[in-house]
Chains A and B, each alone.
Chain A
Amino acid sequence: MIEAITGSALFGIVLCLGTFRLGAVLQRKTKLTLVNPLLVSIILCILVIKVFQIPMENFFKGADVLNMLLPPATALLALNIYNQIKLLKKYALPVLVGCTMGSLSSMVSVTLGCKLLGIDKAISAALLPKSCTTPIAIEIAQGRGGLVPIAIVGVLIAGISGAVLAPHFAKIFKVDNPVAEGLAIGACSHAMGTTKAIEIGEVQGAMSGVAIGVCGLISVVLSMFLPV
């Protein structure tokens, strides 16, 4: 019977949705940033696949349906930019300069760090877009020949660390301007950081949302020109 269940294309979908929902409930209960729904879901799916020795092809029969929705969902990120167009216009130059410098510093620090620690190119290319929102990070990693799953690991580490540490960063780096604080959170930890930025303040949340889209676009362009 287990084979009949795991052989169905519906199995992968139900497993992904079910574990993700469980992760979301756990996060609401524990109020811990580390208990991220995506992280919980990935770990639980891997556990189920390992414990029941489910062939990867079976899981991906259904999981690929979710993959198919990724490009349209990514395109919809344009709404985040469009909905904040007034703020974007008001702070056009600071947003542009801040997001360019932020994206550049992320890519340069990752490249240097990987060189220093002797990390393989397939991994360093995957970590390059770690500060970008996941769908954009996947595209950049793919384009530069990086391993996409490793890219997701990088995005998760950047997102969770930024979300947890953002309030401390503001004190350490003496950032008292809400616009600068919001953009900085969005630039270093994308959508996960934005969740925290919304808690900190309305302006911070909005600017963090703006930074996700703008940094994403800038990073795509930078990744095309950055030397290896």
Chain B
Amino acid sequence: MNILAQIAIVLGISLCAEAIASVLPFVFPSSIIGMLLLLLLLLSGVLKTVQIQSVSGFLLANIAVLFVPAGVSVLRYWDILAANWLPIFLVCLLSTPIVYAVTAWSVKATMKLVDRSTQTEKERNAQ
């Protein structure tokens, strides 16, 4: 599909998401609404992945560069970071193995339960 059309679709979805976020009765991030909206469009077949292939491929492959500005703004909070770098580092580092172990063990336990369980649960799983 034409590259301009692809850009228009992708930005249009984000624009719709912002509109939806503005009328929601509670605060919910518009970029996550955009994500759910796109997922809905794809699952319902309204939108095909090929229709946004070039733009999505380019943006997703290079998404990390978009975080540079936000990271550089750490300069504005330099004093806070300098005063707290060790506790910040420790909390984030020590939490990593906890999350890994909890996730891995929950998945293993659930798989065991699913395997052992009755037909009804297997059907629910296959849906």
**Are A and B part of the same complex?**
yes
- List A residues at the B interface (Cβ < 8 Å): 12, 16-17, 19-20, 37-38, 41-42, 45-46, 49-50, 56, 59-60, 63-64, 66-67, 69-83, 85, 89-95, 97-102, 104-106, 109-110, 113-114, 117-120, 122-123, 127, 130-131, 134-136, 138-140, 142-143, 147-150, 152-154, 156-158, 161-162, 165-166, 169, 172-173, 175, 177, 179-181, 183-185, 187-189, 191, 211, 213, 216-217, 220, 224
Cβ contact within 8 Å between A187 and B100: yes
Q: Majority SS of interface residues in chain B?
A: helix
Cβ contact within 8 Å between A75 and B72: no
- List B residues at the A interface (Cβ < 8 Å): 10-11, 13-14, 17-18, 26-32, 34-39, 42-43, 49, 52, 56, 59-60, 63-77, 80-81, 84, 87-111, 114, 121, 124-127
Nearest to A36 among chain B residues (CB) is B64
Once the chains are docked, how many angstroms separate the CA of A66 from the CA of B63? Answer: 10
Cβ contact within 8 Å between A148 and B73: yes
Once the chains are docked, how many angstroms separate the CA of A75 from the CA of B52? Answer: 12
Cβ contact within 8 Å between A71 and B31: yes
Question: Which residues from B are CB-within-8-Å of A104?
Answer: 102
Cβ contact within 8 Å between A77 and B103: no
Once the chains are docked, how many angstroms separate the CA of A76 from the CA of B104? Answer: 27
Cβ contact within 8 Å between A38 and B32: no
Cβ contact within 8 Å between A38 and B100: no
Cβ contact within 8 Å between B110 and A93: yes
Question: Which residues from B are CB-within-8-Å of A76?
Answer: 10, 35, 38, 52, 56, 59-60, 63
Cβ contact within 8 Å between A152 and B67: yes
Question: Which residues from A are CB-within-8-Å of B94?
Answer: 109, 113
A94-B107, A147-B80 given; A66·B66 CB < 8 A: yes
Cβ contact within 8 Å between B87 and A89: no
Cβ contact within 8 Å between A109 and B98: yes
CB distance from B2 to the nearest CB of A (A): 17
Cβ contact within 8 Å between A17 and B110: no
